[in-house]
Amino acid sequence: MSQDFKRRTIVNWLLGGGVIAWLSAIFFPVLKYLQPPSIPEAVVSSVKAATVNELANNSSKIFKFGNKPGLLIKTPAGEWRAFTAICTHLDCIVQYRDDLEHIWCACHNGHYDLQGRNISGPPPRPLEEYDVNIQGKDVYVSKRT
């Protein structure tokens, strides 16, 4: 009797374990399949974002920094600034408002000042700032290291 019982327990464990192994053998590849392979991103550390004459004071431009948008600003005082254009709140793309003279996210009314600091609305963090270098007629933007 107890012999029998033991045998049954063992068989149950084996069967149960078999089913689990079988299911994971199916679902593991499926889950992995759904996760896209990470394509090595061409690491961009510096791009030419504009030419010097392209922007007037108090205006801006979206440029491509790799496959992400960046925001290049020429402040009312004529200084160059560059940030990622991706809002730290929920990923929307921010814009420069020449009427407010600072950066604005339309999605949930987030505001950043000209240093990229979040000054009002929901964004929890400042925007990442890039370095701007002028070389001849070209405006280069590069990641801070």
Partner 1 sequence: MKESILSWLKNRYPVDSVTEFAQKKKVPLFQGTIWYYFGGITLFLFLIQVATGILLLFYYRTGADQAYESVKFLMTKVHFGWLIRSIHSWAANLMVLSAFIHMFSVFFTRAYRKPRELTWITGMVLFLLAMAFGFSGYLLPWNELAFFATKVGTDIVGAVPFVGDFLLTLLRGGSDVTGATLSRFFGFHVALFPGIFTLFLVIHLAFVQVQGMSKPIGAKEEELKTMPFFPNFVLRDLLIWLIVLNVLAILAVFFPWELGAKADPFVPAPAGIRPEWYFMFMFQTLKMLPAHIAGLEGETVGVMAFAIAGIFWILIPFFDRSSQRGHKSKLLTYIGIIVVIFILVMTILGYTLS
**Which residue, 12 or 109, has its beta carbon nearer to partner 1?**
109
Which of the residues 60 through 89 are near ligand FES (CB under 6 A)? 87, 89
Do 63 and 49 touch, CB atoms closer than 8 A?
Answer: yes
Q: Is residue 110 a contact point for ligand FES (CB under 6 A)? A: yes
Q: Is residue 137 a contact point for ligand FES (CB under 6 A)? A: no
Phi first, then psi: give them for residue 37, nearest 5 degrees.
Answer: -65, 140
Q: Smallest distance, Å, CB 109 to partner 1?
A: 6
The site partner of 64 among ligand FES, partner 1, none (C-beta below 5 to 8 Å per kind) is partner 1
The site partner of 36 among ligand FES, partner 1, none (C-beta below 5 to 8 Å per kind) is partner 1
- Which distant-in-sequence residues (6+ apart) come within 8 Å of 93 by Cβ? 62, 69, 85, 86, 87, 105
Q: Is residue 121 a contact point for ligand FES (CB under 6 A)? A: yes
Do 140 and 125 touch, CB atoms closer than 8 A?
Answer: no
* Binds ligand FES (CB under 6 A): choice among 123, 127, 132, 139: 123
* Distance (Å, whole) CA 62 – CA 59: 11
